[in-house]
Structure 1
Amino acid sequence: MKKIFIMCLAAGVFSGCSTGTLITKEGTTDNPKWHKADNVILNKDRGTFPNLQSLSQVRQGMTKDQLYELIGRPQYDDGWRPREWNYLFHFNSPGQGENGITTCQYKVLFDQNMIASSFYWNPIYPENAVCPPTLNMPKKEESKQQVSVKRYTLGADALFAFDKSDLNNLNPKGREDLDSLIAELHKLKEIRAIRILGYTDYLGKDTYNLNLSQKRAETIKQYFLNNQINAQVFIAQGLGEQDPVKQCASNLLRNELVQCLEPNRRVIIDVDGIGE
């Protein structure tokens, strides 16, 4: 550890032996970079199985001490006073991954005041895994209780103003759709998990689209929290242009292509809940 730290200073990288991710003063990036998965310096290079309820409470505005209390110390060496924390997490995911385990890297970026600002996932195994995977909380006694997983698909164009992702830029139609969903969720006796996936079309740079979809997913999560929707597990993830639902001819005019690709710009919300 000491040798690595000295090498970093000698190279003039005073922010630490980071991944090389370029971080804005607001604590964001268009191109998250990652350590080699097996370069973990804690827990015998093996990473950890995070507490799911604690992980679901991570959000923007937290201090490093608050994050440490929830998910522990970062597991990679990013040097002295780093503006990124990197983790290696494993998840029990029956039917997925290796022997029912999915492995993902998790990155937290901090702004210039060392406040958590943005969050990123990187699948390790399987390589094309959705991180974190769909997770079911341990079941309580559920006799005579109706358990269901419902999927809601909302158009990103209806939810957000063009190229925007924050609460102030939710469209009236988007707020109406979310409020209708919130009213339905409030009728549930218990919400075990909510998973929010943001998607874009393929137009534009991959890294930009990934970042935009992540911010939109985080905004929907915050909207739910602001309206007293609390789940045992809350996951918000941006997937950029992955999993398109519609293909369009490449020879279309720009406006026609944008319109054709509209179904791919969406937010999917999976709710695992218990009814009355």
Structure 2
Amino acid sequence: MQANRFAGAAIVCSIAIGLLSACGTRHLSRDISPDGVPAEVVFPAKERAILKEGTFPNPNSLRQVAAGVTKDQLYHLLGRPHFREGYAGVREWDYLFHFRRDGEVTTCQYKVIFDQHYLARSFYWQPQDCADLLREPVAPAPPPSAPSAVAPRRYSLSADALFAFGRADRGDLQSSGRAEIARIAAELRDAKDLRKVRVTGHTDTIGSEQANQALSQRRAQTVRALLIDEGVPARLISAEGRGESEPVIGSCDASAERTALIACLQPNRRVEIVAEVEQ
């Protein structure tokens, strides 16, 4: 009776493992943790392989092997293990694989270690650089496209046409100046690819350098705000004041009466808009 029981168990084992050679074998790797990580990975000697010639695996099938696959799924992807390893109670499977590349054959050993529930959890190659054989070929990068031509659009607005003398705020804008800014904004909105817009304020030399710097900055900021109001994206626009540091007219007769001096220095009082637009 007992002999019949053992015979029945052997039949069940052989059905369960199909072509696998045994219902369990000792583990070569040492101290495999419940989550499927060994303290030391040990590969069997190649000459101990049951399938001594090994196989040429399908690389796409190998790439599908990942943590969580079952033994049945692994068997379907890679076939039976190539060493004396069974099915039930076994925590590691070993394979002997060959890869053909550039006219040469490379032989590698591949190990899968299972967790306590017999799901694949960790994977090892010998030599380790065999893992590189599974990397997908990288297509050559396309040649860099020619950079788009970017040309600046320049606008120079007379500060006297924009603001009352010595003023810089929105309420100080003259109607003609507001209309000119609206026209420029319309051109920038219609541009194919507007990259950035720089607004720069300039003054003459009348008054202190510090006051002129502040005046030029306020004028640039006011023009920037108007461009935004007209629909030009705020993230593209910067505003900067350069005071009296970049004059158009180098000098005027300082002894001239104030009205004449103001008139002479008029070209220096300006707001410049430079826009970078793809052509």
More helix by share: 2
TM-score (norm 2): 0.45
Larger radius of gyration: 2
